Amino acid sequence: MGTFVLIHGGGGSAWDFHLLEAELTGRGHHVVSVDLPIEDEKAGFAEHVETVSNAIGDHDDLVVLGHSYGGFTAPLVAGKHSARLLVLLTPMIPKPGESPGDWWGNTGFESATGLTEEEQFFNGVPADLVAEAGSHGRNQVSAEWGQPWPLQMWPDVPTKVLIGRDDQFFPPEFQRRVVQDRLGFAPDEIDGSHSVALSHPRELADRLESYL
């Protein structure tokens, strides 16, 4: 058994993981999931890490998961706490000194054309969950957007990258290229959308357990 630390993506909240949390706790694992201070204009990387660290408390044997934009915060937390494993889920993967705001141009990201926001982020997610998700979205105005990512190198923590085969926001071919370029290995793949924790929570829990 382990403690899974779940770090949400841009504009998100701990609610994004509620189905995955239920799967993991039902299997005997501990789960730590918090709302990052993304609505605070003064909160940067340090405040994001502090928020997660406070929630971790005395828990150990950590598996830190960062979803999407959470890929900037998750390595900072994993390194600080000497995590057992770092998992990046449909992620943004930073380079040393790169700000989140610069990541998009640096990676050559291009937005999908002709797709609604729902189609990009929630394809394959049940309609009732898509409707509920809107009430849990938050305005991200925090300061880390323009801050250089503070690590000089990737943390000394075993790292897995898991991408969604049906992701229409960060398409698989884009993710494969970025992961190979930045981390030097090929990502693992799972059925599901960008919001795979909502579209395929059981399969995601299976995969996370297999990493243990």
d(CA 206, CA 69): 23
Enumerate long-range contacts of 131-136, CB under 8 Å, 24 or more apart.
133/15, 133/16, 133/195, 133/198, 136/12, 136/13, 136/15, 136/16
**Average of per-residue pLDDT across 192-198:** 96
Q: What is the pLDDT of residue 112?
A: 87
pLDDT digits (tens, 9 = 90+) for 146-166: 999 999 999 999 999 999 999
Q: What is the pLDDT of residue 65?
A: 98
Q: Does the pLDDT value for residue 134 go beyond 90?
A: no
Percent of the chain with pLDDT over 90: 94
CATH number, domain of 31, equals 3.40.50.1820
Q: Collapsing DSSP states into helix, strand and coil, what is residue 1? A: coil
Contact status, residue 64 vs residue 74, Cβ threshold 8 Å: yes
Q: Does the pLDDT value for residue 1 go beyond 90?
A: no
pLDDT digits (tens, 9 = 90+) for 45-67: 999 999 999 999 999 999 999 99
**Average of per-residue pLDDT across 199-210:** 97
Query: Which residues have C-beta within 8 Å of that of residue 127, sequence separation ≥ 6?
Result: none
**Pair of tokens at residue 163:** 């991408």
pLDDT digits (tens, 9 = 90+) for 91-120: 999 999 999 999 999 999 998 888 998 999
**Pair of tokens at residue 169:** 């926001």
**Average of per-residue pLDDT across 73-102:** 98
Burial state string for 128-144 with b = 16 or more CB within 10 A and e = fewer than 16:
eebeebeeeeeebebbb
The amino acid occupying position 185 is F
- Residue 202 structural domain: 3-211
The amino acid occupying position 198 is L
**Average of per-residue pLDDT across 14-31:** 97
Q: What is the pLDDT of residue 92?
A: 98
**Number of domains, the chain:** 1
- Considering the chain, what is the average pLDDT of its residues? 96
Q: Which of 4-18, 69-83, 89-103, 105-119 has the lowest mean pLDDT?
A: 105-119
pTM for this predicted structure: 0.96
Contact status, residue 12 vs residue 196, Cβ threshold 8 Å: no
Query: Which residues have C-beta within 8 Å of that of residue 46, sequence separation ≥ 6?
Result: none
d(CA 122, CA 125): 5
**Average of per-residue pLDDT across 18-44:** 97
